[in-house]
Each structure stands twice: as C-alpha cells, then as structure tokens.
Amino acid sequence: MPTKVSTPKVPKTPKAPKAEKGAITVPVFSPKGAELASITVPEALFGVAYNKTLVALAMRVYRANQREGSACTKTRSEVEGSTRKIYRQKGTGRARHGGIRAPFFVGGGIAFGPKPRDYRMGITKAMKHKALLSAISFVVKQKTMKVVDGVDTLELKTKAFATMMQTLGITKRALYVVGKDSQKTMRAARNIATVDVEPYSNLTVYDLVTHGTILFTKDALTGFIEQYQK
C-alpha cells in the first residue's frame, strides 16, 4: 500500500487587533479671529457616519411637532342660518335648493374643511440621539463648525458681536450655541437677524441642518460632550 504523506499544518496568522477609535481636532479661535489652540473632540460623537434617512426622519418629526393643528372651519350644520327651504321645489325656473347654509352659498358651511387635529409624531430616544450625532458629525466633516473662546471679554453690545462674526468669516445664517458661562452674550447676539441663539442642551437636528455655520463657545462644546458621553 502507498504510504500517506502528511502535510504539515500551517499556523494561522493572528488577526490584527482592531484600531481603537481616535479623536478629532477642532481649532479654537479668539473673538479677534486668531487661532488660539485646538480642542480634541471624541470620534464617537463627532465622527459618526452620516445617516441621511435618519436625519430626514428626525427633521420630519420635529417639523410635525411644531404644528398647532388648530385650523377649524364650520360645516353646514354649524353655521348660522335657517333650515327652511329657501323657495319652492318647482315652478321658479331656478335650480333646486334646500337650505341657505349649503356650501355653495356665500356664508354657508365649508365642505371637507380642516378641523382641529394632533400632528404630533414620535421617535425613540436612541434614534433621536443617533440622528443628532449624525448631523453634527456632518457639520464637522463639512468644516462649517467653529469654536470661539473668550466671548465673555467682549463688550455686551450687538455691534461688538457682529464685528466678531465678520472677523471669523461668518456671513451666512448662523447658529450661536452657548453654555452656562456664555449666556450673557445671548442678548447681544439675538438682535442680529441672521443669527439664532440656542443653549447646547436644547440643540436639535433641525438647528444643525438649517444653519450654514454652527458657532460653539468653548464651554458650550465642553458641556455638549459631557452631556452626550453619559
């Protein structure tokens, strides 16, 4: 019988360990436009892949929840007017009509008009959280997020804040995100028509998507990271 030749077993190559998620560096500017330093933000918050479908869903839910749903019209049974037949059925040469409150008469009821309703939609906390991180990661990727430090040294006047915005090169519609230490400047910023002010704790997907530039104060960015890293 032929002898069997045993082939030596080749040892398996060990898999390379997965690279740990790193961090993203964002420059920090002074109110005069000088780059002071850079701040490191976690990739788990600011490096999330953009989920277009989830962001669109969060936008739809937010906009739907802003609707009051208070539009109301009266039907023919609710408007004021007699129920008497307005003229006899035959012999007048005119069309047959029953009541003056019919929809085709001036002052009559509205057919199929709007009634008060609730437009509210729901979304889970996990989806809302993921959509927000997806949107802010997209903002960081597009380099439309700026961080400023030292706004508390500015004179609390709208002119001083507007000058800072011009110095930082912010010309489009901007969102000014403030923290606990920078809320005094809210009064100076809210007088500018192209600037909206929002605390970091109230930040929404709608805010991030509808503004050309997102301006964070350094303490607001730190507070945002602490809030969403829990």
> Per-residue pLDDT tens for 150-202?
888 888 899 999 999 999 999 889 999 998 877 788 888 988 999 999 999 99
Q: Name the residue range of residue 87's domain.
A: 68-118
pLDDT for res 51: 95
Average pLDDT of the residues of the chain = 88
Same domain, residue pair 138 and 167: yes
Whether residue 47 sits in one domain with residue 143:
yes
User: Mean pLDDT, to the nearest integer, of 62-72?
Assistant: 95
Same structural domain, 210 and 160: yes
| DSSP, residue by residue, 163-220 | HHHHHTT--S-EEEEE-TTSGGGHHHHTTSTTEEEEEGGG--HHHHHS-SEEEEEHHH
- Residue 8 located in a structural domain: no
Other residues' Cβ atoms within 10 Å of the Cβ of residue 181:
15
What is the tens place of the pLDDT at every residue in 22-54?
Answer: 678 999 999 998 988 889 999 999 999 999 999
Residue 182 located in a structural domain: yes
> Environment class of residue 230 by beta-carbon count within 10 Å: exposed (0-12), middle (13-18) or buried (19+)?
exposed
- Number of Cβ atoms within 10 Å of the Cβ of 15: 6
Same domain, 192 and 182: yes
Same domain, 156 and 197: yes
- Same domain (yes/no): 151, 103: no
pLDDT surpassing 50 at residue 17: no
pLDDT-derived band at 20 (thresholds 50, 70, 90) equals very low
CA–CA dist 39, 27 (Å, integer) = 6
Q: For 108, left (φ over 0), alpha (ψ -120 to 50), or beta?
A: beta
CA 144 – CA 46 distance, rounded (Å): 13
Say if 195 falls within a structural domain: yes
Name 38's bridge partners: 27
pLDDT at 22: 61
> For residue 12, is pLDDT > 90?
no
Please check whether residues 43 and 82 belong to one and the same domain.
no
Residues 136 and 150 reside in one and the same domain: yes
- Tracing tokens 């969102």 back to the chain, one arrives at 175
pTM for the model:
0.78
Q: In this predicted structure, what is the pLDDT of residue 184?
A: 81
